[in-house]
Amino acid sequence: MSTTPDTAPAVVPNFETDAGAGRKLAIICSKGSLDMAYPGLILANAALGEGVEVHMFFTFWGFDMINKKTMGDLKFTMLGNTATHMPQGLGGLPGMTGMATSRLKKSIADLDVPEVPQFLELIVASGGHLWACRMSADMNKLTEADLYDDVEGIISASDFIELTEGAQLLFI
């Protein structure tokens, strides 16, 4: 290591990579459980922070993430989830889903990670786009009034495919 000033050009981070220009990410959220809501939210937020254009499409059970009635009350259950490493029978006992949910919510809050509605607010403030699935809305007889205010529209699957042309895609 030299202790005298060198004359090499300054090393400067390259924040505007060519590969990053015009990069788009499409995330399809199809699950309505608390544990499966977070992967999409976290990845969307991370991508936005890297200057990537992000479009999230909420479909089927994923509609619960943007339905005003359910978005703040998603649940986590041990049932059918072997990753809890607990006897499956336990998960069916009364109150277990409520307990598992409050535990998971606490772990998430302890990391200072926001709840679903505030997370969506963060994503929108960072420039992310939220879209609702037309068929899911029709099946559940929901309109834009029932959905989180920043959802930009209820659109068909083809509309979503069209507006995410060239995007990298995640299905969750």
Contact positions toward another protein, by CB under 8 A?
A: 1-3, 5-8, 10-16, 20, 42, 45-46, 49-51, 111-114, 122, 125-127
Strands 129-133 and 153-155 turn out to be parallel
What is the DSSP pairing of strand 24-29 with strand 129-133? unpaired
Shortest distance in whole angstroms from residue 127 CB to another protein = 6
Distances (CA, A) of 102 to 63, 76, 88, 166: 21, 8, 19, 39
Nearer to another protein, 19 or 145 (CB): 19
Nearest partner of 168 among 50, 13, 28, 74, judged by Cα: 28
Q: For residues 53 and 146, which CB has a smaller minimum distance to another protein in the complex? A: 53
The least CB distance from residue 52 to another protein, in Å, is 9
The nearer residue to another protein, 59 or 129, going by C-beta atoms, is 129
Residue 90 beta carbon to another protein: minimum distance, rounded to whole angstroms: 30
Query: CB 12 → another protein: shortest distance, Å?
Result: 5
Rounded CA separation 45/166 (Å): 20
